[in-house]
Amino acid sequence: MRLSVVVAALLIGCCAPARAQQDGAALYAGHCAQCHDAGSAQSRVPGRSALQAMSFDHVLETLATGSMAGIAKDRTDDERRAIATFVTGKAATNGTAADAQGRCMQQSTRFPQALDGPRWNGWGVDTSNSRFQPAEMAGLSAEQVPRLRLKWAYAFPGASLSFAPPTVVGGLLFIGGTDRKVHALDARSGCTLWTFATDAAVRAAISFAPLAGTDQFAIFFGDLKANAYAVNALTGAQIWKVKVEEHPAARITGAPTLHSGVLYVPVSSLEEVAGSQPSYECCTFRGSVVALDAATGKMVWQAYTIPEVPHPTERNTKGTQLFGPSGASVWSAPTIDPRRNAVYVATSNSYSNPPAATADAILALDLATGKLLWKQQATLKDAYIVACYGADKTNCPDDHGPDHDFGQSPILVTLHDGKRLLVIAQKSGVVHALDPDDGGKILWQTRIGKGGALGGSEWGSAADGTRIYVANSDVRFLRDGTRRLDSTQGGGLFGLDLASGKIAMEVPPVPCGDRPQCSPALSAAVSLIPGVVFSGGVSGFLRAYVAADGRLLWEFDTAQDYTAVNGIPAHGGAIDGPGPVIADGMLYTNSGYGQWSGVPGNVLLAFEVGKE
């Protein structure tokens, strides 16, 4: 007999009329015990031990939309959940059940869990962008990590990239996708509560907060057409939408950071790609940070990373007018320093000559006005566009740079002795520590990689009060014209002492064997909980290491096919871009990155701790 039929036969008596406020035990005693406690007379009905082995979600789905749906149609959602909880012996917090399309069968007007409970809000879990999740929020210890098991997979339709990290708050999960939608999921089960259509793909993390002056809770994010949004977190209804930059190449790739009712939005662009065409008047885009009133979307200020407006410079060999200075995009989430009333951002390379003094730099801006407080440039004269590595170098700046910009957020840390640092790793392969209390003075610099356009440290590092953990990409391609990845180059994970910059822990590159599109490079952001650092690789493996000494604790090969909760064909691939998100005993990771010759994929994977 099929399991659902067995469950249906068992629970027929459970669905007799009952008082709406009865709990699961009362429903069971009054209407179910005569079926599954009847002994041999009811031998086709499983006993209590068999029921306890079933999942809460399966029993609830059987009652709501499965073979029991017709019989249970008069039961309320709360009654069905109470029955399923008691019969299985599992708490309802395992998640809301889904229908065949992955939609949650119970639409709630409240959050499943407390908003001040375990959460991962925004890119860096805090406004310091530490990517360090404390124990009480992680709900996952070093001892439990080896028992992590896949709980569910969620697939993005028609995607070859899974490039937006989730935000988890109040038992809900919010994530953007290449399908030009933002999805709200039940964090435990992965079922879909609502989707919101955007003008362009959303690759940045999402920030969550109460909406000032209202009883609403909102999520805030940006898309790849430079639109910033505020959306009701429970319903998916739009609150406001603002285009923060009119330049046609502008986009939002870094997560907007929320602080004291103001949303700080980083603005980047793809003009270094468009500018590679010989007929393109390269280049006129300047990076910026836009401060918006979170309640209304009204602009408070916009601070350009290059103060000078681009002006005509020379003509290229095709006669096209060129412009400069340009570039200095802000690819990553801003970092907030309330003590200094400052917001810190890291900038990209210049796009054209003359090179900007604020490119490849860390900038400190005044929180209230956007005024530049100080700058610290890491690489001088780094004017670069994609054409510099292409066949037609017409628009490539003379004496072009190495493309050693910053792709990640600065991390604001406080050492055990109270000393504060601003630490960040660069595509050059160098990790920098600056003094935020002394105008960005360089405190130490440590090389961990060779660097390159896709080399060094790319998306993000993680830090506690003792160390910063940095992943090294240094991805390389075979020189045979195929753009195949070099399986012998790149990789390595490092733990640097924050006080001195010395390397205190090192994991050597892990060979990836004969896998298709294989590389040991570690390009994705890393994440940290007490005692454990997580790092995903271009090979598709997600690994957990002991933070103290680099011993391998756990690994999972994400480059495989999955049965997704939303019924869409799902497969994993390279891990690039965002790093793992850990909250409430769950770990979430993206898998699939079809750019830069990585293995494409379209999934968000959710793990929980399995039983001994």
Q: Which residue has the tokens 């994400």?
A: 558
| pLDDT tens profile 180-198 | 999 999 999 999 999 999 9
Q: Which pLDDT does position 62 carry in this prediction?
A: 47
Q: Is 503 exposed, middle or buried (0-12, 13-18, 19+ CB in 10 A)?
A: middle
| Residue carrying structure tokens 């949004």 | 229
pLDDT tens per residue, range 168-184: 999 999 999 999 999 99
User: What's the CA gap between 564 and 603, in Å, rounded?
Assistant: 8
Q: What is the pLDDT of residues 571-590, one digit of tens each?
A: 999 999 999 999 999 999 99
Give 90 or 305, the one with higher predicted confidence: 305
Confidence of residue 597 (pLDDT cuts 50, 70, 90): confident
Residue with the larger pLDDT of the pair 61 and 475? 475
CA–CA separation, 236 and 9 (whole Å)? 38
Those residues whose C-beta lies under 8 Å from the C-beta of residue 49, and which sit 6 or more positions away, are none
Sheet containing 361-366, strands listed edge to edge, beginning at the edge strand earlier in sequence: 335-337, 342-346, 361-366, 372-377
Q: How far is CA 345 from CA 65, 247, 312, 329, 604, in A?
A: 50, 20, 28, 10, 28
Position 63 scores a pLDDT of 64
For residues 167 and 183, is the Cβ–Cβ distance under 8 A? no
How confident is the model over 551-563, as pLDDT tens digits? 999 999 999 999 9
Which residues partner with 588 through β-bridges?
581, 606
pLDDT of residue 1: 33
- Tell me the β-bridge partners of 240: 230
3-state SS string for 60-113: HHHHHCCCCCCCCCCCCHHHHHHHHHHHHCCCHHHCCCECCCCEECCCCCCCCC
Q: Which residues pair with 12 in a beta bridge?
A: none
CA distances from 190 to 21, 112, 375 (A): 28, 13, 43
pLDDT for 15 equals 39
Average pLDDT of the residues in 66-84: 65
pLDDT score, position 393? 95
- Residue with tokens 């149609």, as numbered in its chain: 73
**Nearest to 98, CA basis, from 106, 109, 90, 88:** 106
Environment class of residue 339 by beta-carbon count within 10 Å: exposed (0-12), middle (13-18) or buried (19+)?
A: exposed
Residue 251 has a CB neighbour count (10 Å cut-off) of 24
pLDDT of residue 59: 59
Backbone angles phi, psi at 4, to 5 degrees: -65, -35
> CA geometry: angle at 253 spanning 393 and 154, to 5°?
120
Strands 262-269, 257-259: pairing is antiparallel
* Average pLDDT of the residues in 509-523: 91
Q: What is the pLDDT of residue 612?
A: 66
Q: What is the pLDDT of residue 345?
A: 98
Distance, in Å, from the CA atom of 395 to the CA atom of 475, rounded to the nearest integer, reads 25
Mean pLDDT of 503-509: 98
One-letter amino acid identity for 294? A
Task: Please give the single-letter amino acid code of residue 494.
Answer: F
pLDDT higher than 90, residue 482: no
Question: What is the phi/psi pair of residue 212, to 5°?
Answer: -55, 135
Residue among 126, 204, 171 at smallest CA distance from 590 = 204
What is the token pair recorded at 474? 């240094």
Confidence of residue 288 (pLDDT cuts 50, 70, 90): very high
Chain centre to alpha carbon of residue 419: 29
Q: Which residues contact 133 (CB under 8 A, 6 or more apart)?
A: 120, 125, 527, 528, 529, 582, 583
Nearest C-alpha neighbor of 210 from the set 228, 227, 230:
230
Name which residue leads in pLDDT, 38 or 478. 478
- The per-residue pLDDT for 13 is 37
Write down the pLDDT at residue 25: 76
pLDDT in tens, 134-155: 999 999 999 999 999 999 999 9
The mean per-residue pLDDT over the stretch 76-99 comes to: 67
Q: What is the mean pLDDT of the chain?
A: 89
Instruction: Report residue 581: phi and psi, to 5°.
Output: -115, 130
Q: How confident is the model at residue 357 (pLDDT cuts 50, 70, 90)?
A: very high
Alpha carbon of residue 477 to chain centroid: 27
Q: Which residues contact 50 (CB under 8 A, 6 or more apart)?
A: none
Q: In the structure encoding, which two tokens stand for residue 187, read together?
A: 């964090």
Q: What is the β-pairing status of strands 420-425 and 411-414? A: antiparallel
163: left (phi over 0), alpha (psi -120 to 50) or beta: alpha
Between these two residues, 49 and 480, which has the higher pLDDT value? Answer: 480
Closest CA to 524 of 570, 493, 560: 493
Strands 361-366 and 372-377: antiparallel
- pLDDT tens across 229-242, in order? 999 999 999 999 99
Residue 564 reports pLDDT greater than 60: yes
The reported pLDDT for the residue numbered 309 is 98
For residue 94, the model assigns a pLDDT of: 54
The model's pLDDT over 389-409, given as tens digits with 9 standing for 90+, comes to 888 999 999 999 999 999 999
Which secondary-structure segment (H or E) carries 232?
strand 227-232
Confidence of residue 480 (pLDDT cuts 50, 70, 90): confident
Tell me the pLDDT band of 85, cut-offs 50, 70 and 90.
Answer: confident
One DSSP character per residue, 299-367 reads EEEEEESS-SPPEEEEE-TTS-EEEESEE----S--EEETTTTEEEEE---EEESSPPTTTTEEEEEET
**Amino acid identity, position 397:** P
pLDDT recorded at residue 96: 67
What are the pLDDT digits (tens) for 412-435? 999 999 999 999 999 999 999 999
Residue scoring higher pLDDT (88 or 371) = 371
CA nearest neighbour of 353 among 308, 384, 329: 384
pLDDT tops 70 at residue 243: yes
pLDDT (average), residues 298-324: 98
Whether 459 shows a pLDDT value over 70: the answer reads: yes
User: What is the biggest distance separating any 2 CA atoms in the chain, rounded to whole angstroms?
Assistant: 93
pTM confidence score? 0.85
Contact status, residue 151 vs residue 607, Cβ threshold 8 Å = yes
Residue 51 has pLDDT above 90, yes or no: no
Residue type, 290: V
Average the pLDDT over 483-504 and give the result: 95
pLDDT of residue 71: 58
Peptide bond before residue 325 is cis, with ω within 30 degrees of 0: yes
Residue-wise pLDDT for 13-49, tens only, equals 343 333 344 577 787 677 665 554 444 333 333 344 4
Distance (Å, rounded) from C-alpha 559 to C-alpha 176?
A: 21
Dump pLDDT digits (tens) for 337-351: 999 999 999 999 999
CA 591-593-596 angle, 5° bins:
150
Nearest to 486 by CA among 512, 506, 508: 512
Cα 471 to its chain centre, rounded Å, is 16
Torsion of the alpha carbons at 8, 14, 16 and 22, rounded to the nearest 10:
-150
Output phi, psi for 354, to 5 deg.
-80, 145
